[in-house]
Structure 1
Amino acid sequence: MKILSVSTATNHLSVALNEDKKIIVEKNEHDERNHSEHLDPLINEILVNNNLKLKDIDRFAVAIGPGSYTGLRIGITTVKMFASILKKDVVGISTLKALAASCSDQKSLIVAGIDARNDNYFAGAYIIDSAGKLVNVIPDGHYHIDTLLNAVHDYLEQSKYAKLIFIGSGFNKQGKLIKDLHVPFTYGTADQNVVHAGIIGKLALDEKAVDPDKLLPRYLRRTQAEVDWHKKTGKPFGPDSNYVEEV
């Protein structure tokens, strides 16, 4: 199965072509903010260099969040359009799961996160089970660092895991609080700490395809636009999908 995968969730842009679990090629741009200008050329470059056309792709995959509101929409809109027009499979992958999947340590609790400022993080924790599958054990969410580390502490208390690895952005400034857990820990490498489309492609191989129209971003917190919409309409907050579909 040929899978074309995209991540525009952060300031790191990544596009990859996978053949089943093998990463054929991955293209990355670091610290760029203009994903809308660079995404299509990267996709085209990968296709041309591999003598492929979009119609030759069997499945499209994309990081659906958390992440940059604008960035997520760019990637998701692009793959939705491809999948809808070409009548191909499309899969959404948690940005945090993609980060966690860069770690292969079965003896550590993997905490994946994206700095959301003011000591807040989009984060979740994962383990690799005996079958080699990545399992989400602390749900992806929007956490203050104290709440996140309390959840980590509670999980460690009732599990066999005695080590931690923090993958993603912003955790290195929380070293003092992390040390208070009194558990050996490490940080991810520079390569692990960014989202890779090739990993998204690997994860997408085992995921169930969805209707392109139902592929929506997972922000994990209210956008300012949604807050303003609530104030204007007086309608209660519901799932992100209700708001996204209405506007």
Structure 2
Amino acid sequence: MKVLSIDTSNYTLGVALLDGDQVKGEYITNLKKNHSVRVMPAIESLMNDCDMKPADLEKIVVAKGPGSYTGVRIGVTIAKTLAWTLNIPLVGVSSLEGSAASAGRYFDGCISPLFDARRGQIYTGLYQYRQGQIYSIQKDQLLLSKDWAAILKERDEKILFIGNDLPIHQPIIEETLGGQAVFAEITEQNPRPSELALLGRDREGEDIHSFVPNYIRLAEAESNWIKANKEKKI
């Protein structure tokens, strides 16, 4: 099966082409640049390099969040448009799950991918590989990094932390967990779009029209708008 995967959910922009059990190509950058003007040229360039045409694709896999509100929306919109235009299945995979899969496959313990959510908060979850399959141990959520560290302290096992935003929260994690915390190397922090493609390759397609991103929380602007309108009604 020929699969195109797209991840624009954070600063990392990643696209990959999977053909059966072979990664045909992969493009990754970790730059604070506008994904909306870069992702389609990246897809086109990768497909040209791999001698693949849009009509060859059989499935689209996209990182559906959480992450940057704008970034998640860009990736999901492009993935839905491509899947609808080509009349092929669309699969959404948690951005956190994709991150966990990028470095945790051979880690003997649980994996906690994280993205910074400002004000001391993180998007995170807990995953674990068992017999080659990744499982969600605790659902994706938004909470303070100090509270997450306290929750994980109760687990009698090593925890692998992964994510480009680790430096922001690593001191708090180390203070609470000590040697229980293991930190991925900098070369493992970027989510691999090929891992995303592999995760979604054998999953059932979703209804394209009802498919929506998983922001976990409302965008700040949307939240403020709702709050302001509620106050007007009082």
Say whether the fold is shared (TM-score over 0.5).
yes
How far off its partner does 1:169 sit?
3.1
State the AA in 2 paired with 1:79.
Answer: A
Separation (CA, whole Å) in 2 of partners of 1:90 and 1:170: 29
Partner residue of 1:199 out of 170, 195, 198: 195
Task: After TM superposition, give the deviation of residue 178 of structure 1 in Å.
Answer: 2.8
On the 8 A contact 2:146/2:172 being kept in 1, the answer is no
The residue number in structure 2 matching 1:66 is: 66
Task: Give the TM-score normalised by structure 2.
Answer: 0.90
Q: Distance in 1 between matches of 2:192 and 2:66?
A: 14
Q: Which residue of 2 aligns with 1:93?
A: 93
Task: Tell me what 2:117 maps to.
Answer: 116
* Alignment of structure 1 residues 160-179 onto 2, 5 Å: 162-172=157-167, 173-179=169-175
* TM-aligned CA distance change 1:143 to 1:46, over 3 Å: same
The aligned residue for residue 184 of structure 1 is: 180
How far apart, in 1, do the equivalents of 2:178 and 2:11 lie?
33
1:223 counterpart residue number? 219
* Higher alpha-carbon deviation: 171-180 or 28-37: 171-180
Paired residue type of 2:117:
A
Q: Which amino acid aligns with 2:111?
A: I
Aligned pairs, number:
229
Q: Is 2:150–2:176's contact at 8 Å kept on the other side of the alignment?
A: no
Q: Are residues 203 and 227 of structure 1, via their aligned partners in 2, closer, same or farther at CA, if it must alter by over 3 Å?
A: same
SS in 1 for 2:11: coil
Contact 1:20–1:202, Cα closer than 8 Å, also in 2: no
Structure 1 window deviating more from structure 2 (182-191 vs 3-12): it is 182-191
Deviates more, 1:6-15 or 1:30-39: 30-39
Query: Conserved in 1, the CA contact under 8 Å of 2:25 and 2:46?
Result: yes
Q: Distance in 1 between matches of 2:140 and 2:16?
A: 24
What is the SS of the residue equivalent to 1:195? coil
| Aligned partner letter, 2:196 | I
Mark the CA change 1:105 to 1:211 in structure 2 (over 3 Å): closer, same or farther.
same
Aligned counterparts of 1:44 and 1:213: Cα–Cα separation in 2: 24
Residues 6 and 62, structure 1, Cα contact 8 Å, conserved in 2: yes
SS at match of 1:76: helix
What letter corresponds to residue 212 of structure 1 in structure 2? I
Q: Quick check: 2:160–2:181 contact (8 Å CA) kept in 1?
A: yes
**TM-score, normalized by length of structure 1?**
0.86
The whole-number CA distance in structure 2 between the counterparts of 1:3 and 1:78 is 15
Task: Please give the alpha-carbon distance, in whole angstroms, between the structure 2 residues aligned to 1:122 and 1:34.
Answer: 22
Unaligned runs of 5+ in 2: none
The 3 A distance-change label for structure 1 pair 136 and 42 is: same
Letter in 1 for 2:207: D
What is the CA distance between 1:100 and its match in structure 2? Answer: 0.5
How far 1:150 sits from its partner (Å)? Answer: 2.3
Q: Secondary structure at the match of 1:65?
A: coil
SS in 1 for 2:71: helix
Distance 1:113 1:11 in 2: 13
Question: SS of 1:213's equivalent?
Answer: coil
Tell me how far 1:145 sits from its aligned partner.
Answer: 1.2
Percentage identity across aligned positions?
A: 28
> Which shifted more, 88-97 or 174-183?
174-183
* 1:1-247 superposed matches below 5 A: 1-102=1-102, 103-129=104-130, 131-154=131-154, 156-157=155-156, 162-172=157-167, 173-231=169-227, 233-234=229-230
State the AA in 2 paired with 1:111: S
Q: Distance in 1 between matches of 2:177 and 2:92?
A: 33
Q: Secondary structure at the match of 1:98?
A: helix
